[in-house]
Amino acid sequence: MHLLTLLILTLELMMLPFVLWYYYTWPKDKTRLWYFVLLALLIFYNLTGGLFPDPDIELIPLQVQNIIAYGTGFLMASYFPYYFYKSFHLERLRRHALYGVPACLLVPYLIFFCTLYPLSGNLDLAINLGMIVPLIYSPVLLYAILISIRERFKANDLALYPYGKAEMRAVYLAVSPWVLMCIFSYLRVSQWIEVLATNIGFITITALFMIRSGRRERLDKHRKLELERSGTLLNAEFMERCENYHLSKREIQVARLHCEGLTYEQIGENLFIGKRTVDTYVQRIYFKTLVNNKINLRKALGYENPATP
């Protein structure tokens, strides 16, 4: 195993319990679960890529070692589109994540590496034939991710987006080497170059994940303290769903009044803010809860009030 691979793998193994703890403390935040899967797959990839193929490992045949090593690379490249689709709500990527990736990445791997390679014993033949479709599809996938990000920001005010444009771009640049893993494999790139290129991106994602998780923890604690001080009385289901959607204290107040049927002017008078500010908050709430009208918002937040018109 290359020394660089060993160092990165050690670092990732040390991080794994912390990521698991993040998910344990907030299991309703599924982005933490998807990130935990991402980290686990990355560790598995670095481990198999660092150990295999090795003729000295007699317990595992050399062919099986190659199949596993290439398989973890294909698996990582296949997971990233799904990670984007679920974590950042990029609906445009749904077809790629659920259908395009299995057809253009996983199927070629199964045909050429899991079937042709064991039958022929020729790894070069499996690589040359098995990489044709992934080589064509990888740039298409990268472009689809980029377009999805652009459309997401065009459809919504940048100030309303919970992650931020800079963060989205950073994650996009971080995952690009992984989507192009097939190119690395086809060109027989040296292990240390491959590991360095892919794991630098992962470190970027990790930093963003930790910052975002810490920010959410602070906001959640602050929101709960403020709600306790103000004595806000809302039904438990409503509050729980507001927390699940990461609504701020002000957004919860606006959402409650909006669900009650108050006009923007009335909400502004109650909260001492302008009508345009209320409209901004409502659009932000719609964005976070993935709805487009008041009726669907009530359903999404489980709002119940007999006086609601």
Positive or negative CA dihedral for 240, 242, 247, 253?
Answer: negative
Axis crossing angle, helix 191-230 with helix 165-179, rounded to the nearest 10: 150
With a cut of 80, say whether residue 260 has pLDDT above it: yes
What confidence score (pLDDT) does residue 120 get?
94
For residues 15 and 10, what is the distance between their CA atoms, to the nearest angstrom?
9
Query: 191 falls in which pLDDT band (50, 70, 90)?
Result: low
Lookup result for tokens 């923007």:
264
Q: In the chain, pLDDT over 90 holds for what percent of residues?
A: 19
Query: DSSP string spanning the chain?
Result: --HHHHHHHHHHHHHHHHHHHHHHH-TT-HHHHHHHHHHHHHHHHHHHHHH-S-TT-TTS-HHHHHHHHHHHHHHHHHHHHHHHHHHTT-GGGHHIIIIIHIIIIIHHIIIIIIIIHHHH--HHHHHHHHTHHHHHHHHHHHHHHHHHHHHHHHHS-GGG-SS-HHHHHHHHHHHHHHHTHHHHHHTT--HHHHHHHHHHHHHHHHHHHHHHHHHHHHHHHHHHHHHHHHT----HHHHHHHHHTT--HHHHHHHHHHHHT--HHHHHHHHT--HHHHHHHHHHHHHHHT-SSHHHHHHHHT---TT--
Q: What is the mean pLDDT of residues 104-123?
A: 94
Q: What is the mean pLDDT of residues 163-190?
A: 65
Q: With 0.75 as the threshold, say if the pTM is over it.
A: no
Q: In the chain, pLDDT over 70 holds for what percent of residues?
A: 70
In contact, 220 and 243? CB cutoff 8 Å: yes
For residues 78 and 175, what is the distance between their CA atoms, to the nearest angstrom?
11
Q: What is the mean pLDDT of the chain?
A: 79
Task: Tell me the per-residue pLDDT of 46-90, one tens digit each, with 9 for 90 and over.
Answer: 888 888 888 888 899 999 999 998 898 888 888 888 888 887 777
Amino acid at 233: L
202 or 50: which carries more pLDDT confidence? 50
In contact, 87 and 34? CB cutoff 8 Å: yes
- Backbone torsions φ then ψ of 46, nearest 5 degrees: -65, -35
With a cut of 90, say whether residue 30 has pLDDT above it: no
In contact, 109 and 66? CB cutoff 8 Å: no
Positive or negative CA dihedral for 82, 86, 91, 95?
Answer: positive
User: Going by C-beta distance under 8 Å and a sequence separation of 6 or more, which residues neighbour residue 290?
Assistant: 89, 300
